[in-house]
Structure 1
Amino acid sequence: MLNVIRPDGNGVSATDRGVAYGDGLFETIRMRGRQAVLRSHHLDRMVADAGRLGIPVERSDLDAEISRSGRDMVSEYGDGDWVLKLVLTRGDGGRGYRWPVECEPNLIVTSSPMPMLPPSGGVVAAFSQFPLTVNPRLAGIKSLNRLEQVMASREFTGEEFELIMANADGQLLEGTRTNLIVRMEGEWVTPPVESLAVAGVMRQYALECLRAAGHTIQEQVIPPALLSSCGLRGLYLVNSVVGIVAVRRLGSVDLPVDDGLETICDPLKTLE
């Protein structure tokens, strides 16, 4: 049974395993009125990753909660854009890491206003000094264990839209809240899922659009030198809330900016 926790109801239990151990995962969904952007992608990922963690949940229950939240928020947001967050935890459990014998997951539902979208001419990004480590058994899961991103976010000075994180070898993997897609002459480059802390649904959708349009994609970690090579055509940051964002300056280096990815991939076409 799925226990749904909403802001107007009972709060999260002090024994919730998501609170105690980060034992869960979440989705952050851009809404437009009652409809969700990338709805099917979000549902597919949450069910698949919950299965990887051994948390039982039905896709139909999550889908119903998105619909219910859309209806409930009409009075506050109308037909405008807003953000729905679904946090799925294993539920309540006693002391210790071992799972409870019977699992009754909690689904914590919250909403927030849509953040201001970045300018179309591109944004400023910088390199984070905090390294990103990825356990291959947990790669790609948008779990509640996001301390590395929290620590990296302390480095924001106010000018940057995003900080880009690297592994211990200095190879670039992702932003604190975005995935990376690089446009090179004749191909696109993005780190593979097995190297990522979070494999975003916007990343997945963008790659689907590129493949459908016949483009070549190389999935590999990104050496910093690639972003200063003569073949670079653009660096994009992508997530399901802000969509596709071009980077015009990375650190102290100006980057080329084009609208190549935006013309191929429009997430607002996925409204359901």
Structure 2
Amino acid sequence: MNARIFVGDTRFDAIAAGDRGVAYGDGLFETMRACRGNVPWWDAHWSRLQRGAQQLRMTLPEAAQVREEAAQLLSGADAVLKLIVTRGAGGRGYAPDTDATPTWILSQHSLPAESPGDGIAARWCETRLALQPALAGIKHCNRLEQVLARAEWDDTAMRDRDALEGLMRSTEGDVVGATAANLFVLRDGRWLTPRIDRCGVAGVCRAWVLGELGASEVRLGVTEVETAEAVFLCNAVRGILPVARLGGCTWPLHPQVSALRERLAAAHPGFVINLAANNPETT
């Protein structure tokens, strides 16, 4: 992994011991797919970062410098780019300094392995997401609920260990999404996705899909997901992930999902690789 650390506009070799991101998870992050050193959805990621900073009343670094450093770090690579921005260093205690100089970290990672073209296996997670509208939608640095949910794979039956993702519900029981992806289901010819007004992350790929499908944001229960005509997950690194199996439920690859993957490849060149790998006729 290659990484660069900054405080304001100055590069450092380490993170301060008193950094609030380390102490309290007081920060935000974006995980982006780069293609040949470029991040096609950069503007969408930065806009979400700005919304999160406004909610947390936190200062962001200069966008131009972050983008320039990102380009240098990527150096033309196909990779995953992660940007973490914390409020910065502060004294002990929860009270935030809204004028603190932010710490920001850029890191480059390998692309994930391609998922099966005919769909992935998923499972239900026991860990629930707490309701907190003040943090809903933003990608803040406290992801302990997702960490606990993902750890469930180590304790599950063998038949579930091939699951690539797990679906999470809120403490009230409605389905919110996957541990690291948003959820879409097809019911009665209409595409639906969970509302992200009380918990969960409003994904960048989710926003693109909403525009493409005209999907409705609703409260979804477990039964509504399991009896859907088609189910898929999406995020900005893996793209569109058709769900082939969820517990005892199975789905064939739906033609609308296949068509959506083709439109995604046209909109984001990084996903052309996904499409070619999973559709031999396109190679």
The TM-score normalised by the length of structure 2 is 0.84
Q: State whether residues 126 and 251 of structure 1, in contact with CA within 8 Å, keep that contact through their aligned partners in structure 2.
A: yes
Q: Look up the equivalent residue of 2:112 and give its one-letter code.
A: P
Q: CA deviation at 1:256?
A: 3.7
Identical positions, percent:
33
CA drift at 1:267: 5.6
Aligned equivalents of 1:86 and 1:223: distance in 2?
Answer: 33
Distance 1:228 1:96, change over 3 A: closer
- Rounded to whole Å, the distance in 1 between the matches of 2:66 and 2:153 is 34
Q: Distance in 1 between matches of 2:255 and 2:236?
A: 18
| Counterpart pick for 1:245 among 233, 238, 241 | 241
Please give the residue correspondences for 1:111-122 in structure 2 after superposition, counting only pairs within 5 Å. Answer: 111-122=108-119
- Report matched runs for 1:122-161 at 5 Å: 122-157=119-154, 158-161=161-164
Q: How does 1:34-183 map to 2 (within 5 A)?
A: 34-57=37-60, 61-74=62-75, 78-79=76-77, 81-100=78-97, 102-157=99-154, 158-183=161-186
Give the root-mean-square deviation of aligned CA atoms. Answer: 2.2
Larger mean Cα displacement after TM superposition, 198-207 or 187-196: 187-196
Partner SS, residue 137 of structure 1: helix
Paired residues, what number?
257
Q: Counterparts of 1:89 and 1:101 in 2: how far apart (Å)?
A: 12
Residue equivalent to 1:224? 222
Deviations 1:37-83 (CA, angstroms, capped at 9, x unpaired)? 3211101100111111101226xx23542343223332xxx45x201
Gaps of 5+ in 1: 212-216
CA shift, 1:132, in A, is 1.1
Instruction: Name the CA shift for 1:122/1:101 in 2 (closer, same or farther; >3 Å).
Output: closer
Give 1:240's aligned amino acid: A
- Distance between the aligned counterparts of 2:67 and 2:255, measured in 1? 31
Name stretches of at least 5 consecutive residues in structure 2 with no aligned partner: 1-5, 155-160, 271-283
Runs of 4+ off more than 3 Å: none
CA deviations 1:78-128 (Å, max 9, x no partner) are: 45x201100010000001001136310111111111111201110000000
What is the TM-score with the length of structure 1 in the denominator?
Answer: 0.87
Residue 29 of structure 1 corresponds to 32
SS of the residue 1:36 aligns to: coil
Instruction: Describe the SS at the equivalent of 1:154.
Output: helix
Give the C-alpha shift of residue 228 in structure 1.
3.5
Aligned to 1:214: none
Higher percent of residues as helix = 2
The structure showing larger relative contact order (alpha-carbon pairs under 8 Å, at least 6 residues apart) is 1
Q: Which moved more, 1:112-121 or 1:257-266?
A: 257-266
